[in-house]
Structure 1
Amino acid sequence: MKTLMLASLLLLAGCATTGGAGAPPMDVTGAEVATRTLDNGDTLAEYRIGGQLRMVKVTPLRGPAYYMYDKNGDGHMDSSKDGVSPVYWKLYSW
């Protein structure tokens, strides 16, 4: 009984941590997507609209994907007041 309960809990934990393919946090319809794999196994997808980088999706070898994007279209990834670019993780999806 304990083994069955442990197995089901591990299965649920695995489902909760998988990064699924959800919608990006901003509208990038019609964007040119360039995908490459880095030396450490992470996948990097760059979304360009009109030749300008608008969003970057990083999918680590292990862990959930995260996004960095340019909200106002000035050509620079948005940053907080201390100059550090914020990273956005998708926490829930159904």
Structure 2
Amino acid sequence: MSGAVLLKSLTAVSSVWMIFSLVVIAYFYQKEGKDERGELIFNKFFRFMFFLLSVCIAWLVFLAARFDFPYELYRRIIELSLCLTYVVGTVRLLVLRKRY
């Protein structure tokens, strides 16, 4: 299996997980986002998401400067990094909910 096919498969699977993550985030925000505890949790959650997405973009810029990617592969890597950011961020949200 080539790298492009593997990346395409990972993007498809992570897209489904991203949709699930968005539903979970919306549910928890609607349920707990209005009080002080919810605001604290979501502030920490969005700060983590911003940091993680910034790291993914910086990593991609670094790799793009080193290697010459075709457009399709570059697009797939961006999609995958966005999807994985949402999935990892949702796990972080669940951990924050248990902690606070």
- Scaled by the length of structure 1, the TM-score of the pair is 0.29
Identify the structure with the greater helix proportion: 2
Q: Which has the higher contact order (CA 8 A, sep 6+)?
A: 2
